[in-house]
Amino acid sequence: MAPETQRHRILIAFLCIYFVWGTTFFGIAVGLRTLPPFVLAAARFLLAGAVLYAWLRWRDPHPFAGLPAGRVIVAGLLYSFLGNGMLTWAQQGVPSGIAAMINSSVPICVALIDWAAFSRRRPAARTVAGILVATAGVALIVSQTKSFHGSVGLLYLGALLVSVTAWSTASLLQRDVVKPERLLAFSAGQMLVGAAAHVVASFLSGEWREVDVAALDPSSFASVAYLALFGTVLGQTAYFFLVSRVATHYVTTYALVNPVVALFLGVLLLNEVLTIGVALGCLLVLSGVAFVLFHKQGSRLFGWVGRALTRQP
């Protein structure tokens, strides 16, 4: 692939995970009005995986041949089921903007897991400072939740923690797992694994009995379609593309943009209230994440752009 083409694809992929993913929290909130969380997630990943598989099958009669089955299953359980599924489940009791803000702590979690289980490199002082600042911001947001959405509950917060941890772990495990030319097949496989896991969870929890077909409206189908085609097929494929070509801590910069998009849509379209305390907590979280992501760049906060786009394939 020509370097110029590679740079353009990297730029487009970053725009997808920055802004498209930022809108998925709103899409989940709309879908949850008429669909239980595991059913919504199952429909999302089943449609996404089926569409991507059909396209791959049109090009190759055996699109999954040679894929590392174990890795595909692990990725499906971590990314699609625990990562996205627990986030969807948590949004039953957490406003979309706040869920996005807590989810933005993925770079913090990546740094901690990488230190503890992968590279074993001790975090720099600025990284530690960023972790402490972001943690303080999350604590402040949690303390303010009763003022705008009642009692969130430990289960919803626990689900968000599981989501962040699973996604961070998968991001580190994903490095160098599959060849770039097999990336779409790997994505389709893990989406279908995630869909199957959600179907099982929906039956075990009894959610399918709660589905009221008469209550479904165009927004229900639009939510599933948008989450599947844009949030999953486009967004996750762009994410996997970047993880296989760009350092993980650069890719996770989406965590600085997604919550801003989600907060804006939540306040504008879902009537979610942004209190002064929550706003301050959000500022602390984003500041802490920025410290972690750019601890080597100092004041050159977005110096990573040039390096990411000029990185050779």
> How far apart (Å, rounded) are the C-alpha atoms in residues 190 and 62?
16
> How far apart (Å, rounded) are the C-alpha atoms in residues 43 and 225?
9
Residue 241 belongs to domain spanning: 3-310
What is the C-alpha R_g of the chain? 19
Low-confidence ranges of the chain (pLDDT < 50): 147-150, 297-313
Q: Could you tell me if 208 and 39 are in contact, meaning their C-beta atoms sit under 8 angstroms apart?
A: yes
- What is residue 177's predicted lDDT score, i.e. its pLDDT? 66
DSSP of the chain, one letter per residue?
A: --HHHHHHHHHHHHHIIIIIHHHHHHHHHHHTTTS-HHHHHHHHHHHHHHHHHHHHHHH-S-TTTT--HHHHHHHIIIIIIIIIIHHHHHTTTS-HHHHHHHHTTHHHHHHHHIIIIIS-PPPPHHHHHHHHHHHHHHHHHHHHTHHHHS---HHHHHHHHHHHHHHHHHHHHTTTSS-GGGHHHHHHHHHHHHHHHHHHHHHHTTGGGG--GGG--HHHHHHHHHIIIIIIIIHHHHHHHHHTTS-HHHHTTHHHHHHHHHHHHHHHHS-----HHHHHHHHHHHHHHHHHHTTTTTT-TTTHHHHHHH---
| 267, containing H or E segment | helix 254-269
* Number of structural domains the chain divides into: 1
- What is residue 296's predicted lDDT score, i.e. its pLDDT? 55
